Structures are given as C-alpha cells and as structure tokens.
Structure 1
Amino acid sequence: MSQTSVDELLALKREAANEVVDVDEPTVKLVIFALGGKCFAFRGQFIKEVLPGDERLFYVPGMPPSVQGVINVRGDIESVILLHSLLDLPTPQEVVSGSILLGQASGMHSGIRVDELLDVVDLPLSQLQNPPESLPESLQPYVAALVDFSGKAVAVLDIEKVFADYQDGLG
C-alpha cells in the first residue's frame, strides 16, 4: 500500500475542487429593461427586435394614453405602447427616448417603450423564482417570475397577459 503525504492529498483535493462540471441546465433568454425606476424583463422569445428610442413616432388622435403613437418599421406600422398605467408606475412627464422593444404574443404585436435597455442575457431556468405573495397588487397579474440580476430584483413580465389586457381595452 503506497503512502500519500498530506501535501499530496491537499493538492489532489484542490485539483478536484477546481474541476468544472459541465451540466446541461435549461436556460432562458431575458430582455432586461428599466421602467419607472424599476427593473423588468420579458422572455426573449417574445421580443423580435430592439429599436432605438428615437424612432420617428406619429401621434394618432383618439388613442388611449397608453398608446404613445405608431412607428414605421420597414413598411409595417407598429403601435408603441406605454406600460406605466398598466403596471401602476408614474407616467413620465417628458418623452423618454430609451428603447422600443418589438414584442409579439397573444395574437398581437406592438412596440413597447422602455426607459432603458439594461441587457439581454441567458440565465439558467433554475434562477427564476416564483413571485412572492407580497408583490404589489397592480403587478400580480403580470409578473411570472423574479430573478436576481447584478444584485437587483427583476420582475419577469408575462407579455401574453400584458398584450391580452391591451386587447381587452384595459391598458
């Protein structure tokens, strides 16, 4: 039986600790953005494109305040909606250039004005947590999950529910 010194055992233990285990964990792509001073995200599969916020916007008379106007995207006319009233966030007094997320879900497609695009990331599905019951009542119908991103709590919104409420005239 060979004897191994303590130093050799410690070296073997350090090598084992440094091994990277490649686990194929399912991931989810998130488009993370700021809106009304809070952090939100949509699942990437529903966001088709991110446009600069300075796209030429055309006002449409008679539209509800949640519809900022329409834009021309390569010949297609897309509405641009604000989520502030739906999520019970203060409506900005001046137009924030930010970004426009082109979303598609629930048979609807529209631009969604956000204050700032923070990141597009792939995160392990296990990092998504169920929303707490203490979530503000105005957010409960729309928040599908919470995730920690750079030390900030990010509410992952269910774009299908958001768009369904806009289609029903609640936005």
Structure 2
Amino acid sequence: MFSIDISVRPALAADRAAVERLWLMFRHDMSEFQGQLPGPDATFRSERLESAFADPGWAAYLVTSADRPAGFAFVRGLDGPLRVLNSFFVVRGARRAGVGLRAARDVVARHPGPWEIAFQDANPGAVAFWRRVATELAGTTWTEERRPVPHLPEAPPDVWISFTTG
C-alpha cells in the first residue's frame, strides 16, 4: 500500500466548481448501488451539494493532496444535537491508501459529539470502511441499524452507524 499526504479544509465558494465535479464522480459511483441514471443533462440530483454550501447547520469539506482535489465530506446537523456525515467521497486514485480514514477522522474531530453515518449494504467497500472508521473513532461503543430510505419504500434500507466522540 502507498501513502498519500492529504489535508482537509472547509470548502470555500472558490472550491465550488471542483466540489461539483467531485460530486458527479461520487454520484456516478453510487449509481452502481442505487440503480440511478443521470438526468437528461447527464447530471445527478444535487440537493445535498446545494445544502452543503448554503444551508445553516451544514458544512462542506474539501480533501486535497498536493493542492489537488481528492475528495469531499458534507456534514449536516451542526446546528442541532446530532451530526450526520451526509456525503463522503474519495477519488479512486486515492483509495486504499488511508486517505478516507484520515479524512473521516479529521472531519469528525472538528465536531465532537454524537454522529450518524449511512451507507448501503450492497456496497461491500463502504460496509467495511465505515465499520473500520467507527471502530477507530469510538472503539466498541458504536451501534449499527437498518432504516427505511425516506420517500423510497422500494429501496433496500440504509445501514446507519451511530457513535459519540470527544
């Protein structure tokens, strides 16, 4: 395994175009597990992207390596008692090098308290990754449960991991 130096910082308005491109890569990856196609303009739904940059209680983070975009994280619930890692992505060229774990650790450390992270059982990489993240951050004190996807009763349930930090 190789190692990549990374940094995680709040995404600025000037980063918006790069994060939008990363978002398309993320949604493309997720389409394999959710069976979704892009719209007629070849883009995917972007409500979470919009919220991450505009809504109170949300934060967008950009993961970089040598000043090049390597991923992002969107957090919601910062104005309430529970933080949710709403969207998280690392480009394929940076995966399996510890980038995701380091980025997740950095983002969670910025907002101590209770956390929830959702992923799909059909994505074996995500299953292993998020269980490892939870164990790294919370030891054995994390929980996992399946919940129906809101407004999509035909979809398989999401897996939710919950834990508390600092």
For normalisation by structure 1, the TM-score amounts to: 0.29
Larger % of helix: which? 2
Larger % of strand: which? 1
Higher RCO (CA < 8 A, seq sep 6+): 1
Larger Rg: 1
